[in-house]
Amino acid sequence: MQINNICCIGAGYVGGPTMAVIAKKNPNIKVTIVDINEERIAAWNENDVSKLPIYEPGLAEIVKETRGKNLFFSTEIDKAIDESEMIFISVNTPTKTYGKGKGMAADLKYVELCARNIAKVATTDKIVVEKSTLPVRTAQAIKSILHNTGGDVNFSILSNPEFLAEGTAIQDLLNPDRVLIGGESQDAIESLANVYGSWVPQDRILRTNVWSSELSKLTANAFLAQRISSINAISELCEKTEANVAEVSKAIGMDSRIGPKFLNASVGFGGSCFQKDILNLVYIARSYGLNEVADYWEQVIILNDHQKRRFSDNLISTLYNTVSGKKIAMLGWAFKKDTNDTRESAAIYVADHLLNEQANIAVYDPKVPSKKVYTDLNYLQTRSENENKELVETFDNPYNAVKNAHAIAIMTEWDEFKTYDWKKIYDLMKKPAFIFDGRNILNKSEMEKIGFEYSSIGH
Ligand code: UDX
Ligand code: ADP
């Protein structure tokens, strides 16, 4: 099928950057991104592109170049669905917070709503592409809804999982290791392959069946997260011995069978995908009675939770077993650098542990707005919103955040942290001044020379 109009439902971290790049590389295709969230669409339409709802290096430039030409942001969902030949579903699929599979399974209510809406509105044949991270066999559910509730039109369902990592989304999209397209209809697969074919070499476009495509996404994320949990497990052992985890990472990474990437020990992985996808994998394995398989993957998450807890426990015990009434400055709130996304960020959980010990928390992050810090903490429902307001303060300047702090916890690997005047920071803090470097970005001997009590992960 010749594609002239694409509609993408969901203007989030996946839909926004992916469609911006598709529009840039296919000037003849009209791409419309729709969302139920009016505020978000308004922000995407902001004249000043520095105010887009998503921060991602390189994104603002592409939006500026394509918006109003062949890239559009709108809340008119039905119109965009009807006009398009191809519809991407890029809505959120959070872990269920209620009912069967609570805390494990993906909540597919937003995907289901989209499918029902497409079925209701469509008057011509559509290719429906699932882009959201979804558990295996979701395409089947979408297909069944479309076929049973739709009118006389033909729907082809494709699975096209997103492999972009936040913070490098534009580069990942422009130069993907591979694009995966799973489906039954060869014609539909080739239509989508053509869209990507405008910039991705054909040998990097993999065609598979739907189930392989869906499972590959979960498996890729599970393998990546497993590497981090593996090196984090070794980091704890390093702290008990004379070994240095950075040296171990380097040594094992030079084995070409292992490779150097994703071996940075840290306070723990965050983000919207890793935990959710592994929980899905575990849930699916358990539902087939594969308990050993489920337990195996679940351990990746158990280790990650342990790493976050270990970090805050270490901070508390180093501060003479009490942080009550002490000011702890947290540098970084995002789950990684170069994004304003905070989903599952280690910072949230570490802050929560410290707040349970009645610490006062001062937060500075270069891209995360103050409001988000409070929403993240309130969402945990560990304490009242008023208590969070009282105990947590946010700053738009790091030097104000660290004033009179007993300790600094580095939660995100933002490059700017390395360029700070650390002598000045030392002078502003209470003594002894502690740094807990959850990302191993500072130099231990330099920090000790200034006078800091410095500890990192796995040294
Ligand atoms: C991930 C996958 O990489 C991507 O392919 C998929 O489509 C979505 O999920 P993302 O969550 O955006 O992407 O970020 P990623 O770079 O994978 O980092 C995830 C977390 O792991 C971050 O908190 C990061 O700081 C942490 N991490 C990463 C480490 O702690 N150590 C490492 O060596 C690498
Ligand atoms: P992701 O990281 O998967 O892109 P986000 O939460 O950033 O997740 O984005 C998902 C977007 O999908 C949100 O902006 C949300 O408002 C939108 N959305 C959810 N359900 C629907 C729906 N039924 N119709 C349109 N948009 C939806």
Instruction: List all residues 6 or more positions away from 295 whose beta carbon is below 8 Å from its beta carbon.
Output: none
Q: Look at residue 297 in the predicted model and tell me its pLDDT.
A: 98
pTM of the model: 0.96
- The pLDDT score that the predictor gives to residue 440 is 97
Q: Find the 260 Cα to ligand 1 centroid distance in Å.
A: 14
**Which pLDDT does position 138 carry in this prediction?**
84
Residue 256: its pLDDT value, please? 98
Which residue's structure tokens are 């709503």? 113
- For ligand 2, atom 19: residue with the closest CA: 91
**In the prediction, which pLDDT does 251 show?**
98
Q: What is the pLDDT of residue 111?
A: 92
Q: Given this model, what pLDDT does residue 105 score?
A: 86
Task: Note the pLDDT of residue 456.
Answer: 96
What does the pLDDT read at residue 17?
98
* Sequence ranges of the binding site: 10-15, 35, 40, 91-95, 132-133, 166, 273-276, 343
Question: What CATH number has the domain spanning 5-208?
Answer: 3.40.50.720
CB-hemisphere CA count at 13 Å for 67?
21
What pLDDT, on a 0 to 100 scale, did the predictor assign at position 141?
Answer: 86
Q: Place domain 209-459 in its CATH homologous superfamily.
A: NAD(P)-binding Rossmann-like Domain (3.40.50.720)
- The CB of 426 under 6 Å from ligand 1? The reply is no
CA 82 to centroid of ligand 1, rounded, Å: 36
Of all protein residues, the one whose alpha carbon is nearest to atom 20 of ligand 1 is 269
pLDDT confidence of residue 390: 97
User: What integer pLDDT is reported at residue 391 of this predicted model?
Assistant: 98
Distance 246 CA to ligand 1 centre (A): 18
Cα–Cα distance measured from residue 194 to residue 202, given in angstroms and rounded to the nearest whole number: 9
Low-confidence ranges of the chain (pLDDT < 50): none
| pLDDT value at residue 134 | 77
Residue boundaries of the structural domains of the chain: 5-208, 209-459
Q: How far is the CA of 269 from the centre of ligand 1 (A)?
A: 7
Q: In what order do the strands lie in the sheet with 179-183?
A: 71-74, 30-34, 5-9, 86-89, 126-130, 155-159, 179-183, 205-208
Whether 238 is catalytic is no
Evaluate: CB of 391 within 6 angstroms of ligand 1.
no
Count Cα neighbours of 129 within 13 Å in the Cβ-side half-sphere: 27
Instruction: Supply the residue whose CA is at minimum distance from atom 11 of ligand 2.
Output: 10
